[in-house]
Structure 1
Amino acid sequence: MPVDNLSLGRRVDPQPLVVKQAIHWLLRLRNNHGNSRLNRQCEQWRAEHHEHELAWQRVQSLQAELTSNLRAVPGAHVAFNTLENSAQGLGRRQALKLLSGALLVGSAAWLAKDTSAWQQWSADYATITGERRGFQLPDGTRIELNTASAVDLDYTAQQRLIKLKRGEIIVTCGGADEGASFDRPLSVQSRHGVFEPQKARFILRQDSDCTRLSVTSGRVAIHAGGTSTQALAGQSYLIDHHQVRSAPSPDMEVGAWVDGLIVTRNMRLGDFLTEVARYRQGFLTCATEVADLRLSGVFRLEDTDKLLAVLPQTLPVQLRYRTRWWVTLERVV
């Protein structure tokens, strides 16, 4: 079997496509138990590249973890239970589709958990899912990290650089406590650009396709896509690898999370649940027919189950808990 790069001291994560291929092999073997030819084909695929073997071991580890500790990956737990309990009433293709979709969700959650734990361990400052924490940096700069966020510091004699590795951060800088640090410029870097504040308080949220900047006080220079833009208090921008553009007015209050709140203004239920899902483990979604319902209000984040329990009081929906970790909102019938 090819040498796993982990044994060489370098962490390597398999590509998502390879993980899906490993899951596909697992599903085929599960549904064709005892098929020696299929087993040989799977072994050949694993031997083709070290990344194949790594993905296979990750998926196998996931299956073992589900058996020994169901709370580790609730999505896959539900997938296996649902399949076992419902297989008699499902055709083979339907059962395979059910397990495939749910296992992909579970695997994604497990791989994300693994990556999150690794980043939390390796980052200078980090939070886990559902956690929000504030830190005072050595130069007096204050940072607040939202759920599942991580930053690194690169402070030298020439610069003060905060690298946003993932998630969302509030930065407050330029106060009297910074003292002699003013002679070294402060910058914050996301994967989409570099931000230079001037006695400012601002929020950066890094998503996969763009970074959102919201300035609450002072000013922030945006350097991205070969251009520079000045963002003033009260302004918000979306920054990707190609452009910097003004952000539309949000349907929730940006930065309310620092007070443990989600404050919505006529927000789609589907978008609201996507936001709530950032603060809890497991799988949270809603049926298509209720996704466009609108809600406004103030919701507390310290207990997301209590938060969800409020929704049927204001919307024509009901909560369906397959487990504590798998929750769907459906229309009241």
Structure 2
Amino acid sequence: MAAAPRPVLADDLPAQADYESLKVAAEWYAVLQDAETGPRQRAAWQRWLDARPEHSRAWAHVEAVSRRFALFRADGEREAAEKAVQVASRRAPSRRQAAGRVLALGGVGILGWLSWRLTPLPAVVTAWRSDYATGIGEQRDILLADDTRVWLNTRSAIDVHFNQDRRLVTLASGEILIETGRDARQRPFFVDTRFGRLQALGTRFTVRQTEDDVLLAVYDGQVRIQNLAGRAAVVRAGEQMRFTADGISAAAPADPAREAWSRGVILAENLSLADLIAELGRYHAGYMGVDPRVAGLRVVGRYPANDRDRTLAMLERDLPIRVQRTLPWWVTLEPR
């Protein structure tokens, strides 16, 4: 069986089937949305659906992605929600202020706002409870009280806890870039993650947290890792390490791509097409898949993270692929 393409919207979606089943399921979905679809076509769809378990899984996946867009098929409603949330994001440094502004969205409502963000419920709850958070495709640049700058990447959330003895940022989800400020009281600066604590030693570094591990890349100064098992390591400028609750990897050269996102760039240095599309998918709602026949193509270049169409056009120009848009929110890359 061919390897399944990596989904953009994971977490709470049904398990994926193989690539071909997903492709056909999306095509059937488009057909069945046509008001002129008759009983014969629906019967053919039902026969396809019942033929293999993979077809049912693929159909469930397509339906789940579709439901994320159900409340915002009207352009005016989606634009109103987007504009309102963007205004709230610019004006509201605290979660209390953000709550007031989101409640004031009126006709769009809480349910509509959550659907526009298109994040799984646990991630929405995490973001709602956090001091600072971003949605899909959103990035924020925050200046903390000690002149530390924190950039939040797409779908990220942090809490900030400063007191007389220490400065602490807790990464609830996603990815951040930190440039520590000079603290007059010389309080230590920590970053807490689900797998351990980092201590910054006058530095610039990124932290990316996933379900499986944390990736720390240091670009200036040093950062000390101590994971939940008590193991420790120091990561120096130009190095990166991954760690889990009970292990720390060997040092590797710091990946420039892990800093480039703060400038709105996806940096590909001999990256596979599948990995590039997975990274691009972090910034956009919907589904993007890659045919296994072209998934291993190597890509080199700089791509705009928040302009999916431009990035896909650049890839289509430079690689032997074509972009197939089965539905507005379902895109696949296939051999030309």
TM-score of the two chains, using structure 2 as the length reference: 0.69
Kindly indicate whether residue 184 of structure 2 is the aligned counterpart of residue 179 of structure 1: yes
Q: What secondary structure does 2:61 align onto?
A: helix
Contact map agreement 2:214 2:244 (CA 8 A) in 1: yes
Residues 97 and 227 of structure 1: CA distance in aligned 2, closer, same or farther (over 3 Å): closer
Q: 2:21 corresponds to which residue? A: none
Query: Equivalent residues in 2 for 1:222-233 (5 A)?
Result: 222-224=225-227, 225-233=229-237
Contact map agreement 1:161 1:188 (CA 8 A) in 2: yes
Query: Equivalent residues in 2 for 1:230-241 (5 A)?
Result: 230-241=234-245
Residues 251 and 138 of structure 1: CA distance in aligned 2, closer, same or farther (over 3 Å): closer
Distance 1:318 1:200 in 2: 43
Q: 2:43 corresponds to which residue? A: 88
Q: What secondary structure does 1:147 align onto?
A: coil
Segments of structure 2 that go 5 or more residues without pairing to the other structure are 1-10, 16-24, 69-117
Distance 1:79 1:185 in 2: 57
Residues 317 and 20 of structure 1: CA distance in aligned 2, closer, same or farther (over 3 Å): closer
Distance 1:150 1:117 in 2: 10
CA displacement at 1:255 relative to structure 2 = 1.0
Q: 2:95 corresponds to which residue? A: none
Contact map agreement 2:285 2:329 (CA 8 A) in 1: yes
How many residues are paired up? 258
CA displacement at 1:311 relative to structure 2 = 0.8
Q: 2:57 corresponds to which residue? A: 100
Greater share of residues in helix: 1
Q: 2:266 aligns with which of 258, 262, 281?
A: 262
Q: What secondary structure does 1:245 align onto?
A: coil
Contact map agreement 1:141 1:171 (CA 8 A) in 2: yes
Indicate the structure (1 or 2) with the bigger Cα radius of gyration.
Answer: 1
Distance 1:78 1:312 in 2: 21
Q: 1:136 corresponds to which residue? A: 143
Q: What secondary structure does 2:285 align onto?
A: coil
Q: Percent identity?
A: 30
Q: Deviations over 1:70-111 (max 9, x none)?
A: xxxxxx998754566654334141487435324336537858
Q: Which amino acid aligns with 1:98?
A: H
Kindly indicate whether residue 126 of structure 2 is the aligned counterpart of residue 123 of structure 1: no
Q: What secondary structure does 1:115 align onto?
A: helix
Larger RCO of the pair (alpha carbons < 8 Å, separation 6+): 2
Q: 2:217 corresponds to which residue? A: 214
Contact map agreement 2:119 2:136 (CA 8 A) in 1: no
Q: Deviations over 1:24-46 (max 9, x none)?
A: xxxxxxxxxxxxxxxxxxxxxxx
Query: Equivalent residues in 2 for 1:1-333 (5 A)?
Result: 80-82=29-31, 87-90=42-45, 91=47, 92-94=49-51, 97-104=54-61, 107=64, 110=68, 112-175=119-182, 178-180=183-185, 182=186, 184-224=187-227, 225-246=229-250, 248-249=252-253, 253-332=257-336
> Which range is displaced more, 120-129 or 90-99?
90-99
Contact map agreement 2:239 2:252 (CA 8 A) in 1: no
Q: Which amino acid aligns with 1:210?
A: D
Residues 158 and 212 of structure 1: CA distance in aligned 2, closer, same or farther (over 3 Å): same
Distance 1:179 1:251 in 2: 32
Distance 1:325 1:281 in 2: 8
CA displacement at 1:301 relative to structure 2 = 1.9
Q: What secondary structure does 2:274 align onto?
A: helix
TM-score of the two chains, using structure 1 as the length reference: 0.70
Distance 2:254 2:297 in 1: 17
Contact map agreement 2:189 2:200 (CA 8 A) in 1: yes
